Structure 1
Amino acid sequence: MNEPLPHPHLLLELDALRDKALAADTLNALAFSMANDLYPLLPFHQALVFAQHDSSLELLNVSGLSRPSEDSPYLVWLRRASRWVNTQVPEGEPVWLTQDSTTPPADIAEGWGEWWPSGLWCVPVQHRDGHRLGLLILLLEQEPPAILWQHLKGLVNTWSYCWAALTRQRRLSRWRPNRKQMLLGLLVVGALLLLPVRQTALAPTEIVSRQAQIISSPIDGVIERILVRPNQPVEAGTPLFSLDETTLRSRAEVLGKEVAVADAELLAASQRAFDNPQSKSELTLLEGRAQQRRAELAAVQAQLKRTQVLSPRGGVAVFSDPNDWLGKPVVTGERIMQVADPTQPAMQIQLAVADAIALEPGAEVTLFLTAYPLTPLKGKILETSYQARASDEGVVAYRLLASIDGTPEHARLGLHGTAKLYGGRVMLGYYLLRRPLATLRAWSGW
C-alpha cells in the first residue's frame, strides 16, 4: 500500500524553511532560523542549537532569544547537560531521550526535572564527510511521529550544507592543536633553536683607500686657492692648494728693513769703537740684534715657501666642495684633503655598538653598494678598533677596515653601501634572543 502524500501546506512550510536557511549570511542567523522557524511544524517548549567543537558544544541560540549571552543558572547548568546529551546521540539519526530511557547524572537529572519537559528530540547536523557540525535539541512532551523525520530529513541536509559553507573559513581560522600536537610543536621549536647558524650583523660602509695620505695645512693662514678638483688624479709634486701670502710678505718687508737698520747700527758702532772705548761694549748687543732680525726674516721667508702645498705622492685628491675652503682660516695641522691610491680600495665600516658581534681579523664581509646592489663585493676584516666613537651621524660605533677581494671596476672611492659581517657559529636561539637579552639585562641590571 502506497504511503500518503504530504500535505501541500507542509511542503510549502519546508520550502520556506529551506529558503531562509539559504539566505542566512552568518552562522548565528542560520542558528536563529533553526531554533525559531520550525515551531509551526512541530510545537515545542524550547529549541536549543549547539555548535560542535571537538568534544565540546557551544550554545549558539535559544528559541525566543536573539543571543544567549546572560550567565544565568539555567545556562550554566545547560553547558554541563549539553556535554552529556552529546554523548547519547549517535551519528546520523535523531534520538528521543527521556529520564526513563536514560540514566543521567544526578546534577543533570535534578536540572532536567526543574527546567526541561519529559523528553528531548536530538537532531544531529552532520557534514557530508560524516563529522558532526552541530546539534539541534527540541524540548517536547511526547516523541514526534516517525513520518515527520522523513519530511524533515531534506531540511536538515540543507541546514548542514549551509552550516558547512558558513563555517569553512571560520573552522580553518579557529583550528586549535591538541596536547600531543602542542608537545610535538614545542619539541620541533626547541630542536630548531639548537641549530647552529652563522652570526651576522649589518653596518653602513664607505669605500676608502688603504694607501691614503692626509694633506694638512703646514702653517696658520687663510686658504687662497684650491688648485685641484675633487677626485682629480694627481702626480707627486702637483700643486694642491695655496695659502694667502699678503701677511707674510708684509712681515718679510718689515723684517728686511729692520735687518738693514740693525746692520747700519752695527757698522756705526764698529767705527766708533776705534776712538771711543765705551762703544766696544755695544758691539756684542748690536751684533746679536742683527742676527735676531736675520733669523726672523729667514723664518718668514721659509713660511712663504710653504704657502703652496704639493702632493707628496700620486693618487686621487679626495675632499669636499672647493668653495667650502676658499677664504677659510686654518691652523697648522688642520686636515684639508687626502691623496688616496684608487688601485687599493678597502671598506671602512661603522659597526654600531648595539649591533656589535664578536669579530676577529680575517672574518668575512659582503658589501652591497647602493649604486650596484646586484654585484656585491667580498672581503675580509683587516683591523678593528677597540674603542667606539660617535660617527658623523651621531651613532656610537666601532670602526672596522676590510679588504676587497680582486680588482672590481665598480669599487670606486667614496661609494656607500651596507656591509654584512659574518661572525662565528652560534645556536639559533642565541642568534634570535641576543639583543632582547642584552636589552633586558641592561634594563634590569641582572
Structure 2
Amino acid sequence: MTMSESPPPLNLLLQLGALRDRALQADSLNALSFSMANDLYPLLAFHQALVFAQRGKRLELLQVSGLTRPSEDSPYLVWLQRASRWVASQVPDAAPVWLTRNSVPPPADIADGWDEWWPEGLWCLPVHARDGERLGILLLLLEQAPPAPMQQALPTLLDTWGYCWTALSRQRRLFRWGLSRRQGLLLVAALGLLLLLPVRQSALAPAEIVSRQAQIISSPIDGVIDQIQVRPNQVVEVGTPLFSLDETTLRSRAEVLGKEVAVADAELSAASQRAFDNPQSKGELTLLEGRARQRRAELAAVQAQLKRTRVLAPRNGVAVFSDPNDWLGKPVVTGERIMQVADPAQPAMLIQLPVADAIALEPGAEVTLFLTAYPLTPLKGKILETSYQARSTDDNVVAYRLLASIDDASEHARLGLHGTAKLYGGRVMLGYYLLRRPIAAVRAWSGL
C-alpha cells in the first residue's frame, strides 16, 4: 500500500483532533466504543463499523455502528464470532491492515458469510496499550481502500483511543483472567461444590471468668453503708466482717423505745397497786399490760436490726465487688446486692451471646476463651448451662447467658478477667455458614 509523503490536510487534522477530544471526554468503555464506531463516518463512508474487545484469546463485540450494543444471538452475530477470530489473526502487530475478499482468501466457513454480509474490503485498526498489549480492534467495512492522508494521520487517533481504553478499563482488567466459557463453568461448579463442604459452626461472644460457687451478699435492711471492712479480691473466711450499716438511727430508736418500755412498766405497776383498793382499776390492767408488751416487741425488733447491721462472710472465698469508695455513704434497700463471696478454686466462663450471633448450642458444646490479658494462652471448656430467655446486658445488648466450665484450671483463670469466647456448634454447609446472617437479615426485612 503506497503512503503519501505529503502531510495530511489541515481540515482532516482538525476533524481528527475533534475525535480525540470526544474520546477523552468518554466516561465509560461503552461510551468510548460508541464514539469509535460512529464518529469516523463523516471521514470514511463505511458500510458498518465493529468494535471488539480483546478478552484473552477471544474477541467480545462491544459496539456496532448505528446500533446499541447487540445482545441477541442472531445468525450474523454467531458468524461474526468466528470471523473476528480469523480477522484478528491477520493483524499481527499494531499497524492497521487492509484486507480484501480476493487478496486474502478467508476459510470456507467465513467466505460464505463475507459474501452475504460484508463488502469487498475490510480495514482493520488494532488498539494497543502503551506497553504493547492489544486492547481491542476496530473493523471498518469499506468498498475501497481508505485514502492515503487518512492512513497517514489515523495512528495518532489510535494512540488516543488506546490511552482512554486503558484508563477506563483499568479496574475491569484487574479481574480479567481470560477464561473460556468451559473454564468459567468449571470454576462456578467448583465454587458450588466448595459451598457444600461441611464446616463447624461457631460464634464469638464477650465472656468473663466467674466462680461456679459464688454467694451474693446483699443488704439485710434498709440503711446507709457506714464502712466496708474488706478490700476487693480479699480472701475471707466464715465470720469475717464484710461491711456494716450506719446504726445512728436504730440506736436512737432503741433508746426511745427503752424509755417507753420503762414508762409502760411503771404505769402497769401503779395500776396493779391501785387495783387492790379500786375495783375500777382492774379494767386498766389488761390495756396497760398489752401496751407494755408492744413496747418490748418494738424494742426487740430494733435490737435485732442492730445486730444485722454488721454483715459477716457466710463462707470461705474471695470478696468480689467494686471500689469501696463507691459504697461508703450510699443508701441501700433490703436485698440490694453489695458484693459476692466466690470460691476462686472453681472458675467458670460467664458468656453473653448476642441474639444476632446466636447459634444452636447444647450443654457439652466446646468453648475456647481468649483472655484480653493473655491472648496467647486460650482456655478450653464446655457449656454447662444456657438460658432460654435473652436479657439486656449492661451494654444494652440483648444476649443469652451461658455458663461454661474451664477444663484445665491454670493460673490465668483469675476471677474478673474478661475476653472473647469462641463457641462451637454442629457442622453445617459452608454456604449456610457464610450466608446465615444475610439470610436472617433478608427474612427479618421481608417477613418471609
The answer to whether the 8 Å contact 1:370/1:416 transfers is: yes
1:97 — aligned with what? 100
1:425 aligned counterpart, secondary structure: strand
Q: Find 2:337's aligned residue among 332, 335, 338.
A: 335
The answer to whether the 8 Å contact 1:226/1:240 transfers is: yes
The answer to whether the 8 Å contact 2:246/2:309 transfers is: yes
> Displacement of 1:72 after TM fit?
9.7
Q: Find 1:174's aligned residue among 148, 173, 176.
A: 176
> Displacement of 1:260 after TM fit?
0.8
Runs of 5+ consecutive residues of structure 1 not aligned to the other structure: 1-8, 11-27, 30-34, 36-43, 61-67, 74-78, 113-117, 145-154
CA distance in 2, matches of 1:211, 1:88: 83
Segment drifting more, 169-178 vs 316-325: 169-178
Q: Find 2:280's aligned residue among 278, 281, 284.
A: 278
The answer to whether the 8 Å contact 1:119/1:143 transfers is: no
2:426 — aligned with what? 424
* TM alignment of 1:212-227, pairs within 5 A: 212-227=214-229
1:63 — aligned with what? none
* TM alignment of 1:315-394, pairs within 5 A: 315-394=317-396
1:326 aligned counterpart, secondary structure: coil
Give runs of ≥4 in structure 1 deviating > 2 Å.
48-60, 68-73, 79-96, 98-109, 118-126, 131-144, 166-179
1:318–1:69 distance in 2 versus 1, CA, 3 Å: farther
The answer to whether the 8 Å contact 2:392/2:399 transfers is: yes
* TM alignment of 1:30-49, pairs within 5 A: none
1:132–1:99 distance in 2 versus 1, CA, 3 Å: farther
CA distance in 2, matches of 1:241, 1:132: 83
1:295 — aligned with what? 297
CA distance in 2, matches of 1:392, 1:104: 76
Q: Find 1:56's aligned residue among 38, 55, 59.
A: 59
2:244 — aligned with what? 242
2:195 — aligned with what? 193
> Displacement of 1:294 after TM fit?
1.1
1:108 — aligned with what? 117
1:292–1:83 distance in 2 versus 1, CA, 3 Å: closer
The answer to whether the 8 Å contact 1:50/1:59 transfers is: yes
- TM-score where L is the length of structure 1: 0.72
User: Aligned residue pairs: how many?
Assistant: 387
2:325 aligned counterpart, secondary structure: helix
The answer to whether the 8 Å contact 1:364/1:379 transfers is: yes
CA distance in 2, matches of 1:57, 1:426: 41
What is the identity, as a one-letter code, of the residue corresponding to 2:284? E
* TM alignment of 1:7-46, pairs within 5 A: none
TM-superposition CA deviations, 1:53-73 (whole Å, max 9, x none): 44436689xxxxxxx998699
1:437–1:284 distance in 2 versus 1, CA, 3 Å: same
1:258 aligned counterpart, secondary structure: helix
1:383–1:59 distance in 2 versus 1, CA, 3 Å: closer
Segment drifting more, 350-359 vs 132-141: 132-141
CA distance in 2, matches of 1:211, 1:315: 9
CA distance in 1, matches of 2:446, 2:143: 65
What is the identity, as a one-letter code, of the residue corresponding to 2:405? S
> Displacement of 1:134 after TM fit?
5.0
The answer to whether the 8 Å contact 1:202/1:419 transfers is: yes
1:59–1:99 distance in 2 versus 1, CA, 3 Å: farther
Q: Find 1:307's aligned residue among 302, 306, 309.
A: 309
1:375 aligned counterpart, secondary structure: coil
1:416–1:70 distance in 2 versus 1, CA, 3 Å: farther
1:299 aligned counterpart, secondary structure: helix
TM-superposition CA deviations, 1:365-402 (whole Å, max 9, x none): 00111111111110000000111110000011110000
The answer to whether the 8 Å contact 1:201/1:356 transfers is: yes
CA distance in 2, matches of 1:403, 1:437: 32
TM-superposition CA deviations, 1:191-248 (whole Å, max 9, x none): 1121111111111111111111100111111111111111111111111111111111
The answer to whether the 8 Å contact 2:127/2:138 transfers is: yes
The answer to whether the 8 Å contact 2:58/2:85 transfers is: no
CA-atom RMSD, angstroms? 4.5
1:319–1:70 distance in 2 versus 1, CA, 3 Å: farther
CA distance in 2, matches of 1:354, 1:326: 39
CA distance in 2, matches of 1:187, 1:88: 31
2:234 — aligned with what? 232
The answer to whether the 8 Å contact 2:379/2:408 transfers is: no
The answer to whether the 8 Å contact 1:319/1:337 transfers is: yes
1:41 — aligned with what? none
* Identity level (%): 70
> Displacement of 1:306 after TM fit?
1.1
